[in-house]
Chains A and B, each alone.
Chain A
């Protein structure tokens, strides 16, 4: 064991990181035999039965005329691509798609920047402060979604909200009884704030965890070489944590694309359609209007669109894999 630690060459890594992106280390090649397959078997079986099978049923539903009646009676008529055609020719659907992308882009950009700042800051803090910051991040993260959403709704309530009160007392009298949820843009902004507030803790904690795996010696040696703080961040720290940054980015894309509960509880997609993004549209269609077929089709399109965004990530991921 002590041998292990002596063998670990801390000084070898700066050289490697000078040529980003950092390639993952070479997987062991020897005598894998049946082991990898045995190791992934539980995951594969789980995904087959608990995910692929329902997903296949969902695809089937999207190709059928499937409403409450069919859910109860069990048999449904096959209608081919009619549901997809109905969606893709609906101008409202395309507006929703555009809005979803806007929502995703704004949220992800804000989340990544803020989370990286918080993570870098946390790493530089002393033990007490660090624990305090991490604990508050976790508390924010652990706050039940419904409670968090409700509190945000209250804060921005036109009559009883503390935000209007604070703004008014600061002299912004146009905010006296300002009806935030009557205006599409304002409601949209509040939802972005809420989603960012809820998402930053996870991203920041994960990025911080990644930062702690960067050996401090690297910083020291880079500093001795005369590099400034920003330079160190860019050419030493970032390349090392890059895989995890990309991962967090990718997950946040997926999650904000699928943001649902917050919007549903707060605005139900309103006012008008101002905060209706794809998942809201799908659920409105499926569960409230009981057009399970159209809802399923909308979800399938969502998955395809999301994959489109993430293709870039996959390509990079596989480039890494190939280099190894």
Chain B
């Protein structure tokens, strides 16, 4: 049975007639797409080419779109910088831990909010929204004090918990939004067919949630992956526990910043997010929802 569904998932989504418009009529559409890609990628392109330019061409008084000469020297500097592997490991652990924890916790909460009726639901939703507005820049001092008084300074676990909390409200809200677009009738029908409530959720709603899960985990990933202030403030003496964003700042020196190496490091640093997306994007683009509803 699941094979059947798997097939329908992979099938291209049904196209309304206007999608089959002749080539010429799709021209503005493709022009728009090209423009979007161009605008999105230009700064990224600039970052990558900066990483590949010799230092003297970076910020030269005669800027060029295409670098005149190329070098891998900056990537070598970045990879050979002390602690490279260590900081990668730290960032990966912290990020993965925070994202997974928040996905699990949020999925449970979002289900309770979207599918069940209980006293206190409304205050809970309100609380989650307020949590989303939390002024994290200013909570850094109280968080620091609490961590200090409980002996949690200098530990990756503290960062994991903070990032978990930063991403949790968002994850709950978005998953709840996605759940709300999935007709509960689907699950009810499965329950009629003899599935348990959990089974119905697992078999019917969860696959439909894939785009939501992707969007939220990507969000969590990028947020935690990029965070600097807490990583800088809460990891003090134990330098082996530093994360990548803090490490990125090590290419600064008293005479300015080694921008080539910084951009090379940033490029390497952005890659995991892209990898995560490419891994998950099938879930978004295959039009899961349509497939299931259409049956």
- Report which A residues bind B (CB closer than 8 A): 1-10, 24-29, 32, 35-37, 39-40, 42-44, 46-47, 50-51, 53-55, 57-58, 61, 71, 117-118, 121-122, 124-125, 127, 129-148, 150-152, 154-155, 157, 159-162, 165, 197, 201-202, 205-206, 208-210, 212-213, 215-217, 219-220, 223, 229, 240-241, 243-244, 247, 250-251, 254, 258, 260-261, 279, 282-283, 286, 292, 295-296, 298-300, 302-303, 306-307, 310, 314, 317-318, 321
Cβ-closest chain A residue relative to B43: A151
B4 near A2 with CB under 8 A, answer yes
Whether the Cβ atoms of B222 and A4 lie closer than 8 Å is no
Contact B137 A140, beta carbon cutoff 8 Å: no
Partner of B1, one of A1, A54, A157, A165: A1
CB distance from A319 to the nearest CB of B (A): 12
Flag if A43 contacts B133 (CB, 8 Å): no
- Contact in complex: B40, A216 (CB < 8 Å): no
Distance of A165 Cα from B40 Cα, bound (Å): 21
17 chain-A/chain-B pairs, Cβ below 8 angstroms:
A9-B185, A36-B118, A37-B112, A42-B108, A58-B138, A121-B32, A138-B277, A140-B43, A142-B222, A145-B226, A147-B262, A159-B61, A212-B13, A229-B18, A240-B181, A244-B178, A317-B125
| B125 lies within 8 A of A197 (CB) | no
Is B193 within 8 A of A1, CB to CB? yes
Partner of B111, one of A29, A39, A159: A39
Interface-facing stretch out of B68-76, B79-87, B157-165: B157-165
- Does A134 contact B284, Cβ atoms closer than 8 Å? yes
Q: Which of B17, B46, B181 sits near A155, CB closer than 8 Å?
A: B46
A314 and B129 contacting across the interface, CB-CB below 8 Å: yes
Contact A247 B61 (CB under 8 A): no
Q: Tell me the nearest residue of chain B to A306, going by C-beta.
A: B133
CB-based contact B248/A140 at 8 Å: no
B236-255 vs A, CB cutoff 8 Å, 1 = contact: the mask equals 00000000010010000000
Assess the A215–B294 pair: CB atoms within 8 A: yes
Question: What are the residues of chain A within 8 A of B19 when measuring CB–CB?
Answer: 124
Q: Could you tell me the distance in whole angstroms from the C-beta of A177 to the nearest C-beta in chain B?
A: 10
Residues of B118-132 contacting chain A, CB below 8 A:
118, 121-122, 124-132
Across the interface, do A146 and B16 meet the contact criterion of CB distance under 8 Å? Answer: no
Known A138-B273, A146-B266, A261-B228: A57·B142 in contact at CB below 8 Å:
yes
In the complex with contacts A32-B116, A139-B41, A133-B33 CB distance below 8 A? yes
Is B181 a contact partner of A210 (Cβ separation < 8 A)?
A: yes
In the complex, the answer to whether B290 meets A28 with C-beta atoms within 8 Å is: no
Q: Of the candidates A43, A165, A197, A282, which one forms a contact with B43 in the assembled complex, judged by CB atoms under 8 Å apart?
A: A197
- Alpha-carbon distance between A223 and B134 when the two chains are bound, in angstroms: 45
Q: Given that A2-B1, A8-B183, A216-B15 are known contacts, is A142 also in contact with B114, CB under 8 Å in the complex? A: no
> What chain B residues lie within 8 Å of A124 (beta carbons)?
19, 29
B270-A160 in contact (CB<8A): no
Q: Which chain A residue has the least Cβ–Cβ distance from B126?
A: A314
| A299–B141 CB distance below 8 A | no
Minimal Cβ-Cβ distance residue in B for A221: B16
Knowing that A7-B186, A125-B30, A138-B273 are A-B contacts, what are 15 other residue pairs whose CB atoms are under 8 Å apart, sorted by A's residue number? A1-B5, A2-B295, A25-B180, A27-B114, A36-B121, A43-B109, A46-B165, A50-B164, A51-B131, A132-B33, A144-B269, A209-B212, A213-B182, A251-B170, A307-B130
The residue from B17, B61, B165 contacting A223, defined by CB atoms under 8 A apart: B17
A144 to B244, CA, bound (A): 11
Q: B interface, how many residues as a size bin?
A: 35 or more
CB of B192, distance to nearest CB on chain A (Å): 8
Q: Once the chains bind, are B294 and A243 in contact (CB under 8 Å)?
A: no
Mark interface residues in B35-51 (1 if CB within 8 Å of A CB, else 0): 01101110110110010
Chain A residues with CB below 8 A from B138, complex form? 58, 282-283, 286, 295-296, 298-299
Distance, CA A302 to CA B36, complexed state (A): 34
Expressed in whole angstroms, the Cα–Cα distance for A295 and B140 within the complex equals: 11
* B274 partner, pick from A4, A138, A154, A250, beta carbons under 8 A: A138
List 9 tightest A-B contacts by C-beta distance, closest first: A5-B295, A142-B273, A57-B142, A299-B138, A147-B266, A299-B135, A209-B211, A39-B112, A213-B289
Contact between chains at A160 and B47 (CB < 8 Å): no
> A27 touching B116 by the CB < 8 A rule?
yes
- B204, CB-defined interface residue at 8 Å: yes
- Contact (Cβ within 8 A) A217 B294: yes
Q: What B residues does A295 contact at CB under 8 A?
A: 138
In-complex Cβ contact of A282 among B114, B137, B143, B214 (8 A) = B137
Chain A proximity mask over B258-286: 1 for CB below 8 Å, otherwise 0: 01001100100110011001100100110
Tell me which residues across on chain A come within 8 A of B203, comparing CB atoms: 1
CB distance from A231 to the nearest CB of B (A): 13
Give the distance in Å from the alpha carbon of A29 to the alpha carbon of B118 in the complex: 9
Select from chain A the residue with minimum beta-carbon distance to B162: A50
Complex alpha-carbon distance, A5 and B290, angstroms: 11
Q: Would you call B287 an interface residue if the criterion is a C-beta within 8 Å of the partner chain's C-beta atoms?
A: yes
A28 partner residues in chain B, CB cutoff 8 A? 115-117, 184, 188
B14 within 8 Å of A (CB atoms): yes
**B266 adjacent to A143 (CB under 8 Å):** yes
Contact at A205–B215, with CB atoms within 8 Å? Answer: yes
A134 B135 Cβ-Cβ under 8 A = no
The answer, among A10, A29, A208, A223, for a CB contact under 8 Å with B16, is A223
Which residues from B are CB-within-8-Å of A155? 43, 46
- Determine how close the nearest CB of chain A comes to the CB of B35; give it in whole angstroms: 10
Residues of chain A within 8 A of B180, CB atoms compared:
24-25, 243
